[in-house]
Amino acid sequence: MPLDPQFRTILDHLGEKGLLPLVQGDAGQTRAHYRALSFSRRGPSFVPEPVASVSDQRSPQGVPVRIFEPCQPRGGTVVYLHGGGWVVGDVETHDPLCRRVANVTGARVVSVGYRLAPEHPFPAGLDDAEHVLRWVGEQRADEPVGVAGDSAGASLAAGLAVRARDQEIPLAAQLLFYPATDPSMASASYAENGKGYFLTRDDMAWFYRQYLPALDEAAETQEGLAYAEANLAYANVGRVAATVVATAEFDPLRDDGAAYADRLKNAGVRVEYVPGPGLIHGYAAFLGVVDAADANATEAMETFARLLRS
């Protein structure tokens, strides 16, 4: 189907204002740009979605987290990993999305302020996520724990699910919004959607260089397997947690998500696939702005909630 007309208007506006591409200079400049862009989506009359409570804390190892309690709790905890190419974003930029995840799923959401590249390349962010997952599991041993993320955060969530299986850390389900799973960037969707739809192929190439600086040298050797938690085309995904994969039609990462859903299914993992016709990368951050984004994100979250408690 064609690009959603509400997203067409948004993309035209962002282009006219010079707010694209996402990568603007070095890591520090791109972080500032991304933060400004994230807040611009909220508008002058923005009111945060109500939740029962919000608190900023630190895990025992000092990882910052923001904890959201849902308005109507139904049990369970979700460790949320924000997007931003492993380089940008934080608990503040993804505060609105985490509020929605909490209220739709009825689960406590623990948003992780993991370390960012290039100062802290792979596996630093994943190590932080593992630490928080273990901490949460110890606190709520009698409740299901899931992991969720968007974009680079979804890639971290998928890697964390692999690590949780290998290290026998309890994990009930994972929610992956448009995950990045193949650093080769060789799929058809990179060619079809590499320009003009918010996230570009050039953006992704830059993000990968920050996060996986040694991957090019390792990819052609057995050492490339050491990167399987990030380069998920190499990962053994058998017996990982039940998964919801949500993609967007006009997204360079569309085929990454679809292929990963197929790999999981072929490995015998329970998978629910939620395509995003007419949508762009990052659509879950446009809740309350684009009707189709609301509908798709809600479907993915509700499906995830069922898997979390099944």
Give me the active site residues, please. 151, 251, 281
Q: Within a 13 Å sphere around the CA of 136, how many CA atoms are in the beta-carbon half?
A: 31
Do 65 and 57 touch, CB atoms closer than 8 A? yes
Any residues with CB less than 8 A from the CB of 296 and at least 6 apart, and which?
246, 274, 276, 279, 283
Strands 64-69 and 108-112: antiparallel
* Structural tokens at position 43: 């508008």
* Alpha helix segments (H runs only) across 235-290: 254-266
Q: Could you tell me the strand order of the sheet in which 53-58 lies?
A: 53-58, 64-69, 108-112, 77-81, 145-150, 173-177, 242-246, 271-274
3-state class (DSSP) for residue 148: strand
3-state class (DSSP) for residue 95: helix
* Structural tokens at position 70: 């849902």
Distance of alpha carbon 162 from the chain centroid: 15
Question: For the stretch 198-233, what's the b/e string if a residue is b when 16 or more beta carbons lie within 10 angstroms of its beta carbon?
Answer: bbbeebbebbbbbbbeebeeebeeeebebbebbbbb
